[in-house]
Amino acid sequence: MKTSAALDRISPSPTLAITSRVMELKRAGVDVIGLGAGEPDFDTPEFVKEAAIQAIRDGKTKYTNVDGTPELKDAIVAKFARDNKLTYSAPQISVNVGGKHTLFNALVATVEAGDEVIIPAPYWVSYPDVVQFAGGTPVVVPAGAEYGYKLTPEMLERAITPRTKWVILNSPSNPTGAAYTVEELKALGAVLERHPNVWVFADDMYEHIVYDDFRFATIAEVCPSLYERTLTVNGCSKAYAMTGWRIGFAAGAPWLIKAMAKLQSQSTSNPCSIAQAAAVAALTGDQSFLAERARAFQARRDLVVGMLNEAEGIICPTPEGAFYVYPSVAGVIGKTTPKGQRIESDSDFVGYLLDDARVAAVQGVAFGLSPAMRISYATSEALLTEACTRIQQACAALR
Ligand SMILES: Cc1ncc(COP(=O)(O)O)c(C=O)c1O
C-alpha cells in the first residue's frame, strides 16, 4: 500500500520535531534548554481543573453535540461580546479539537484544487500544510522585519487573484509576536472590501498575550463590512494554558459553521466532553489572571530581546505579543564555528546552537522567512538568562 497524494503533500510539524528532539536529549541526560515549544509554561488554572473534575463526577462523560455543547457555545458567544465587541449567536459557533483542528476543518471544508490562500510569512507552520492537504495553493507573501513582520495593504492587493479564497491573518503572530493595530487592520480591510469573494481567517489565538498597553483588535470588529466573510478563530490553548485539553473554536457564517460540523461529524465527532466543561469555566470565570500572566511574559520578552541584541550577529525586534521572538541571524551567516563548520543557513545556525550551546530554537526556514530563528520565551527567567548567555557565547565563538 502507498500513502495518499493528500498525505504526501504535507510534512510533519517541524516545531513538534524540535520538541521531541529536546525530550530525547534530556532523557539521555544532556543539559539542553528547550526554547522550541509553542506552549505556556504556566499550569492550567486550578478553577478550570476543578470544573473538569466536577464534570467527570456529574457524568458529563458521554458524546456531546458534534461542534460543541450548548453551554460552551453560550460561553463563547459571551466571550466574543465581552472581549471583542462581536455579536454572534450559537449557530455561528464551532468548537473543535484545538485551534489546529479549527483551521483544518475550515480549510478542508472550503478549499478546492486551484484555490489560493494568502499566507503572510513568517507564518505558523500549519497554514501552508493544511492548505496543501486541502488541495489548495498557499500564496506566501514575505513580510519581513522591515515591515514589522506585518502584511501591508499593498502586499495584500498584489497577492489577490480571482482564485483567492482566503487570507490568513494571525495577530499576535506565531512565530514573530507581531500584532496588527486597529489602523493596520482597517487598511487591510479597505483592500478586502474591493474583493468581495475573499474570506478572512482571523487567528487570534494569542489575543490575551499582548504588551505595553497594546490594544488587541480583530478584523471583524474593526471592519464590520467584513463580518459576514470572516471566520474569527480563538481557543483555550495559549491564554488559559490548556494546550493538552484541545479546545479551539471559531465564529462565522452559519453555512460555514455547518460545513465544518459535517466534516467533524465524520472525523473526531465532538471535542472531549470534559475539556468542553473545563473550557466553559475558563471562559466564564475570573479573567484577571490573564493580565498577570501577560505581565510575566512581558518581563521575559524584555529580558530576551535585550540579551539577544547583545549577541554578535543577531538583531531582535521587540514584539507586541505572543511568547516568541523572531530575530534575524543574517549576521552569523558565512561565519565558521570553532569546529570548522561554515554556517550557510539558519538551519545550520540552530544546529550549531543545539550541538554546541545546548539551546534549542527553531530555524526560520520552517516559518517561511530566513535567515532567522524562533525563540519561545515561555520558560523561567533563570533559564532564559542561561540560554541567552549561551547564545551570546556561541555567537562570540564564531569566526
Ligand atoms: C497561531 C496559532 N494558531 C493556532 C494554534 C493552534 O493551537 P491548538 O491547536 O493547540 O489549540 C497555534 C498553536 O501553536 C498557533 O500558534
| Ligand 1 centroid distance, CA of 256 (Å) | 20
244 C-alpha to center of ligand 1: Å? 12
Which numbered atom of ligand 1 lies nearest the CA of 100?
Answer: 9
Give the chain as a 3 state SS string.
CCCCHHHHCCCCCHHHHHHHHHHHHHHCCCCCEECCCCCCCCCCCHHHHHHHHHHHHCCCCCCCCCCCCHHHHHHHHHHHHHHHCCCCCHHHEEEECCHHHHHHHHHHHHCCCCCEEEEEECCCCHHHHHHHHCCCEEEEEECCHHHCCCCCHHHHHHHCCCCEEEEEEECCCCCCCCCCCHHHHHHHHHHHHCCCCCEEEEECCCCCCECCCCCCCCHHHHCHHHHHHEEEEEECCCCCCCCCCCCEEEECCHHHHHHHHHHHHCCCCCCCHHHHHHHHHHHHCCCHHHHHHHHHHHHHHHHHHHHHHCCCCCECCCCCECCEECCECHHHCCCECCCCCECCCHHHHHHHHHHHHCEECEEHHHHCCCCEEEEECCCCHHHHHHHHHHHHHHHHCCC
CA of 180 to the centre of ligand 1 (A): 18
Ligand 1 pocket by C-beta < 6 Å: which residues? Answer: 38, 98-100, 124, 170, 174, 203, 205, 235, 237, 243, 248
Atom of ligand 1 lying closest to residue 246 CA: 11
Q: Which atom of ligand 1 is nearest to the CA of 235?
A: 11
Task: Tell me how far the alpha carbon of residue 272 lies from the centroid of ligand 1, in angstroms.
Answer: 18
Report the atom number in ligand 1 closest to the C-alpha of 170.
Answer: 1
Smallest CA separation from ligand 1 atom 16, residue: 174
CA of 233 to the centre of ligand 1 (A): 10
Which residue has the least CA distance to atom 5 on ligand 1?
99
Q: For residue 237, how far is its CA from the centre of ligand 1 (angstroms)? A: 7
User: What's the gap in Å between 215 CA and the centre of ligand 1?
Assistant: 21
- Protein residue closest via CA to atom 1 of ligand 1: 174
Which atom of ligand 1 lies closest to the CA of 203? 3
Average pLDDT per consecutive 10 residues, the chain (399 residues; last block may be shorter): 94 81 90 91 96 98 98 98 98 98 98 97 97 98 97 98 98 98 98 98 98 97 98 97 98 98 98 98 96 96 98 98 98 97 96 94 96 97 97 98
Cell numbers representing residue 97 in the block: 479539537
pTM to 2 decimal places: 0.96
What's residue 323's pLDDT? 97
101 CA: nearest ligand 1 atom: 9
Test site for ligand 1: of 127, 238, 362, most ligand atoms within 8 A of the Cβ: 238
pLDDT of residue 93: 98
User: How far is the centre of ligand 1, averaged over its atoms, from the C-alpha of 168 (Å)?
Assistant: 13
**Measured in angstroms, how far is the CA atom of residue 99 from the centroid of ligand 1?**
5
